[in-house]
Chain A
Amino acid sequence: METVFKVRDLNLYYGKNKALNSISMPIYKNKVTALIGPSGCGKSSFIRCLNRMNDLIDDANIEGDIQFLDHSILGNNYDVISLRKQVGMVFQKPNPFPMSIYDNVAFGPRQQGIKDKKTLDKLVEQSLKQAALYDEVYDRLNTNAYKLSGGQQQRLCIARALAMQPEVILMDEPTSALDPIATQKIEELINDLKDDYTIVIVTHSMSQAARISDYTAFFYMGDLMEYDLTDKMFVSPQLKETEDYITGRFG
């Protein structure tokens, strides 16, 4: 099967604390990979390695190797900007910019130097449609994004990431701040998006991981405990810890 990321022996330190311990795993193309585990297990730290957002933390230190489309991305010379163009990210809290809906979606392309109004219009429309938001906002693209509901804001953030036409979308607990109905919409959206994109999602909800993901990775105390097809892992987990966690005995 085609892989997008190949992670080998990845160690991550925050100062003297080791946050990730020798992680090795592939991430498969056009699949939804869910990262689960109790708080502080390193799943969010791991996802931030994939687009090198950990660079922004002063004392973070990464060892090992991550290959993205067969290029190693951890070297100092690697062009982080072009990596982030291809690996979009959606955050836990909806974080649209305080500008219009249109400007939010057009932000990424504009920073790449796209100025042509027609190209931008097309990109915005297409991205909003992909994010299943277009029908709700097509007649008020120039209103401030803060006027949208929380769920709509999160879909706007997904549209904003899609406008960059990325290869991968990383989602860091994208529904934890949303109500059940908004959550359901995002889950449906993720299901639609996996035909065109590779999605890596961090989630605290077992049922969400079971519903939407093809593969699941269970992180615990900085270790990757188990990584398998979701259907397989939720039916017959290999390890006792995994079973305890997904059945809700701890975490």
Chain B
Amino acid sequence: MNKIKTKDTIVNVFVGLSSIITIVALAIIFGYVFTQGKDLISFDLITKDYHARNYVAVIENDTNQTFEMPSFDDEQVYVSSRYGIALIQSQDLAGDSVIKVAYIDENSPFTTMINQDPSKAQISLEEDAVVSRITYVNHPSSLTNKGAQMMINDLNDPEREIFEVMFATTGGGIRGSIITTLYLILLTLAVALPIGVLSAIYFNEFAKKTKLTKVLRNFVETLTGVPSIIYGLLGISVFVPLTMRFTPASGSNLIAGALTLGVILLPTIIRTTEESLKTVSDDHRFASLALGANKTQTTFKVVLPQALPGILTATFLGIGRIIGESAALIFVLGAAIKDQVRILEPSTSLAVHIWSMMTDEPANIALSSSIALIILLIVLVLNIIIKLIASMWLKKGQV
């Protein structure tokens, strides 16, 4: 009797410990990602371009007036009323120290400059732009690493005459990767959903239960367990050449990426759809057939509508997979972060963006964690949607 009791206690301790270890491990991962990534999360991160664009410009007409400047509470802001500009010591989205424009008067000489590239277009310094260097005639330049205060002091020095201004629009945003991810979701589902659902219908509704269909079904199931890097190889050896053959694409591209992801999703979509087709009672199939409806009408008018919640679940699982996939896409879609997304050119999804950031020298853990947080949020929202649909379905079934 006592022996059984001790055994029971030991088992209970192990069960408890295991669950504690699981929870702690998950909490550490989420905690790390959150603490690393939360600072950089902002609206700018998801709306801004990744690549900063650099400009070199000269001031066209220096009016030499004195501007009336507003007052700033922030101690890090330094003001030059001579040029009508305020600079702030700040950080870019990647976490590096930079000098940004905090305020600029609309008549400031910096608003009417000439771009020194071949276009010679007029260009204006705008708020939030990063000023990296101001060079002077016969005086040393002021640089980022000297700080915003030094830069303003130099500007206010009446002896100095500005030669050139180097500045950059702010970068580090992930807008391009978000757009790529959205494109991927749309294109992949457009390929995989119809094929997957129709195959599931074939397997469950039309195929006779022969050895061949059994083998095929097992084959599909096996495909679920194939590592995605292998699908990546398939993509680069089949889909990339295929798209290069039939489209103007010259290498890895979004369409090849979507096709590869489509193949990855197919087994999941087929399985999930088949499961939900199986839950539709045969009574309804018989009733429909006995009413003189043919097989196609029965399948599409009676069976499929009842399987819709399952197909929806398959869709959301698929979207989750698309957002999370990286290994297969590195080959097929490319790892170059793009701001201008074209479906016949390489770009990166959010997950591959993380991969790119982490293979940078040095690895950008902060930005990667922010992107990871965004991905986690999306997956969380998707999961909630799936649960809601499932519970709605259950309620409907109980009527």
A contact residues vs B (CB 8 Å cutoff): 51, 53, 56, 58, 81-82, 84-85, 88-89, 91, 93, 95-98, 107-108, 111-112, 144, 146-147, 157, 160-161, 164
Contact = CB atoms under 8 A, between A and B. Distances in A.
Interface stretch (B181-189, B191-199, B278-286): B278-286
Nearest to B285: A56
Contact of B292 (A91, A112, A146): A112
Contacts of B287: 89, 91, 95-97, 157, 160
Contacts of A56: 286, 289
B210 to A, nearest CB: 9
- Give the interface centre of A51, A56, A85, A95 by most chain B CB atoms within 10 Å: A95
Given A58-B208, A111-B301, A146-B399, A95 B284 contact: yes
Contacts of B281: 95
Given A58-B208, A144-B399, A147-B399, A111 B283 contact: no
A167 B399 CA distance: 34
Given A95-B284, A111-B301, A160-B291, 16 more contacts: A53-B289, A58-B208, A81-B293, A84-B292, A91-B287, A96-B287, A97-B302, A98-B306, A98-B396, A107-B288, A107-B293, A108-B292, A111-B288, A111-B292, A144-B399, A164-B292
B284 A164 contact: no
Contacts of A160: 287, 291
Nearest to B287: A95
Given A107-B301, A111-B297, A147-B399, A84 B291 contact: yes
A81 B290 contact: no
Interface of B: 208-209, 281, 283-284, 286-294, 297, 301-302, 305-306, 396, 399
Contacts of A91: 283, 286-287, 290
Contacts of B399: 144, 146-147
29 contacts: A53-B289, A53-B290, A56-B289, A81-B292, A82-B292, A84-B289, A88-B291, A89-B290, A91-B283, A93-B283, A95-B281, A95-B283, A95-B287, A97-B287, A97-B288, A97-B302, A107-B288, A107-B291, A107-B293, A111-B288, A111-B291, A111-B292, A111-B293, A112-B292, A144-B399, A157-B287, A160-B291, A161-B290, A161-B291
The interface residues of chain B, by DSSP majority, are classed as helix
A96 B305 CA distance: 14
A98 B281 CA distance: 11
Given A91-B283, A97-B302, A111-B301, A58 B291 contact: no
A53 B286 CA distance: 8
A89 B292 CA distance: 10
A21 to B, nearest CB: 25
Contacts of B305: 98
A160 B294 CA distance: 16
A95 B289 CA distance: 13
